[in-house]
Structure 1
């Protein structure tokens, strides 16, 4: 959408007055105040501190990264993310964070199309990683999935089936209720 220059300038001046942008020479930059908008957006999506705690527990138990994703025209967008301490110290090749979009072929995106009780899994042999994801029980129009990415050594076939998938499904039910997608 093309906006007239005076309109854009008026918006920028208003944002500057409110402290969301700053002018440096002929350049505009966002200020740290925009985090307020981001945190408010996360809260409105239902990604509360309690939801983050559940993601952190999964990440810690499976020594990996837990992601909460919502359907997006390009695949799935990460709306919640937690990393185990060991994962934070490791150099991660993919710079994924809240707001990153994963493609339709990712485990988190594939889980969106599955019925509750099913799961998707995907191996990344080049990085020795494995991702397992489950859909969240949904009420309403939102489609979300919950997944864990960890080393292939942590995610043996038996552990995936007997421990990880049931833990993800329990967490998916709890998170779904917490963000108002499922009946209490």
Structure 2
């Protein structure tokens, strides 16, 4: 088990994961390349500092990224299916083409994140702070936005929307939508 705040390179993380280690909670990984396309399903990176780390096309399915700082990280085309991203900071990150289906994004910060071609099917965005400049081609089927604070400049242009839960949700115009 690692101590919180341990500095680690992408290469070291991959080596330790390859030999069976899964708990990397609290690690600090310098902004780096080297994790593009990485196969890291089930990894525990809770509380990790992952600012500006490149995770393009990485498999982070069923991973624990709760309370992780992913500000400015690139998660383009990453698999984050069923990932725990609760309380995570994703501000200024790139998530284009990412699969976030059934992910828990409750209490996460999604400021200045363009959502383009992202699958959020069944995702939990309860009390999530969402300040998004662009949302296009996003699947919000069965998404729970209860009490989310939402600001979209381009609301749902060409998005597929069905079965979205809007309960005490603050909409872009400041109104609150409640449905049962």
When normalised by structure 1's length, the TM-score is 0.19
Looking at secondary structure, tell me which structure has more helix per residue: 1
Looking at secondary structure, tell me which structure has more strand per residue: 1
Rg larger in structure: 1
When normalised by structure 2's length, the TM-score is 0.20
